[in-house]
């Protein structure tokens, strides 16, 4: 028998985050979103709740929980707002986890406690302006000069990289050439404020307007050789491992957005009247909302299944790709349908579904496009690369 019921601890966490999202985030996030302003106060409260340290052991300042706990928190936050949710997701899965999984003991003790407490944010610099899904085409370089790495290059679309509380960015860079002629890619930690490390102004984005996304440039940036994260030449492989976890987290975030569309549509359908009746009494609206709920429910089961395999230590690459593909599709479809339920009001930014519609599309792109997920699923099925 398959049991999808949450444990007492997970259910308590889910309810706590649900209440926080409803009472602390929902009333104010719209104004932050319209101003394109990063919500430092909300992030500080999330840090005080321990959300940034959920899957990190107490030894490094975390809560000692598991990755599924992070996913539950992301789902509940995204039911209200995705900017806040992606700040948490990127801060943990991309910012903290590479160090937690692959960093040295000294690196973990130096950098993780402040990140786990939400006092500082960390970022991961993989994507480049000409790279996109082809992360193996990295052009940023890092050459060793004595006891230092000298880094040159550019990174694009990097979340949490330019806030006032960003402590560092872990970047991938070409550090040599393999015997087969392919690039040797390594991961290196670059503290914020390092000379030659320039953070551009924020992008003007379609969505996620209350989150921080920047382009980064490195001009003869020098950091100690001890800032190598993990093994030399294993940076790309390490990130692929991190990305499998991240896709489960993005799936959870996507489910939250999809469910938020259902929540808002049910509420609105019970209030809005047309032709003398509440629109929720019309079968056309009922069927549309029923399909939305079915998508959210199915996507939730997909990420629960992927997370279960992850926690058991089993291979979960295919399940993570399926969860990310199904959930991001559900988010996009539900955002479109919720906007239709709201009619003209759905096109107004003052209503949450307007934000949901603007935020949904990136979920089919970030941390691996839908096309990449299909490619991964096909390969896991044994089809030729």
Closest-CA residue to 74 (of 101, 100, 94, 103):
94
Q: Please tell me which residue in 11, 105, 367, 371 is annotated as part of the active site.
A: 367
Query: Contact 73/88 with Cβ under 8 angstroms?
Result: yes
**Does residue 367 have an active-site annotation?**
yes
CA–CA distance, 97 with 263 (Å, rounded to integer): 32
Closest-CA residue to 159 (of 377, 371, 365):
365
- How buried is 233 (Cβ within 10 angstroms: 0-12 exposed, 13-18 middle, 19+ buried)? middle
Tokens 């209200």 — which residue?
80
- The C-alpha angle with vertex 300 and arms to 296 and 303, in degrees rounded to 5, equals 140
- How buried is 3 (Cβ within 10 angstroms: 0-12 exposed, 13-18 middle, 19+ buried)? exposed
Neighbours of 332 (CB within 10 A): 23
Query: Contact 123/90 with Cβ under 8 angstroms?
Result: yes
Which residues are identified as catalytic? 367
């Amino acid at each position: 028998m398959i049991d999808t019921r949450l444990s007492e601890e997970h259910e308590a966490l889910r309810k706590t985050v649900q209440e926080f999202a409803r009472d602390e985030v929902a009333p104010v996030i719209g104004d932050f979103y319209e101003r394109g302003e990063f919500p430092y106060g909300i992030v500080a409260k999330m840090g005080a709740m321990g959300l940034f340290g959920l899957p990190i052991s107490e030894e490094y300042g975390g809560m000692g929980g598991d990755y599924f706990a992070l996913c539950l928190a992301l789902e509940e936050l995204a039911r209200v707002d995705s900017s806040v949710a992606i700040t948490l997701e990127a801060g943990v899965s991309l910012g903290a986890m590479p160090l937690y999984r692959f960093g040295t003991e000294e690196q973990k003790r130096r950098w993780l406690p402040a990140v786990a407490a939400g006092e500082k944010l960390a970022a991961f610099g993989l994507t480049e302006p000409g790279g996109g899904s082809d992360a193996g085409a990295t052009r940023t370089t890092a050459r060793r000069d004595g006891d230092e790495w000298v880094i040159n290059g550019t990174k694009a679309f990097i979340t949490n990289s330019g806030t006032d509380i960003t402590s560092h960015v872990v970047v991938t860079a070409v550090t040599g050439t393999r015997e087969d002629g392919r690039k040797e890619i390594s991961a290196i930690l670059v503290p914020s404020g390092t000379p030659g490390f320039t953070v551009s102004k924020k992008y003007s984005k379609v969505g996620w307007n209350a989150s921080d996304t920047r382009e980064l440039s490195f001009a003869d940036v020098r950091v100690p050789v001890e800032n190598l994260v993990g093994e030399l030449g294993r940076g790309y492989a390490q990130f692929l491992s991190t990305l499998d976890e991240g896709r489960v987290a993005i799936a959870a975030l996507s489910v939250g957005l999809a469910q938020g569309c259902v929540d808002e549509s049910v509420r609105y359908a019970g209030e809005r009247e047309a032709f003398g009746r509440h629109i929720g009494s019309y079968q056309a609206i009922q069927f549309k909302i029923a399909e939305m709920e079915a998508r959210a429910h199915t996507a939730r089961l997909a990420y629960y299944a992927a997370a279960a395999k992850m926690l058991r230590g089993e291979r979960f690459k295919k399940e993570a790709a399926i969860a990310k593909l199904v959930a991001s599709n559900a988010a996009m479809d539900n955002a479109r349908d919720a906007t239709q339920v709201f009619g003209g009001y759905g096109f107004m930014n003052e209503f949450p579904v307007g934000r949901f519609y603007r935020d949904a599309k990136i979920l089919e792109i970030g941390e691996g496009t839908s096309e990449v997920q299909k490619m991964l699923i096909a390969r896991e099925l044994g089809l030729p690369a």
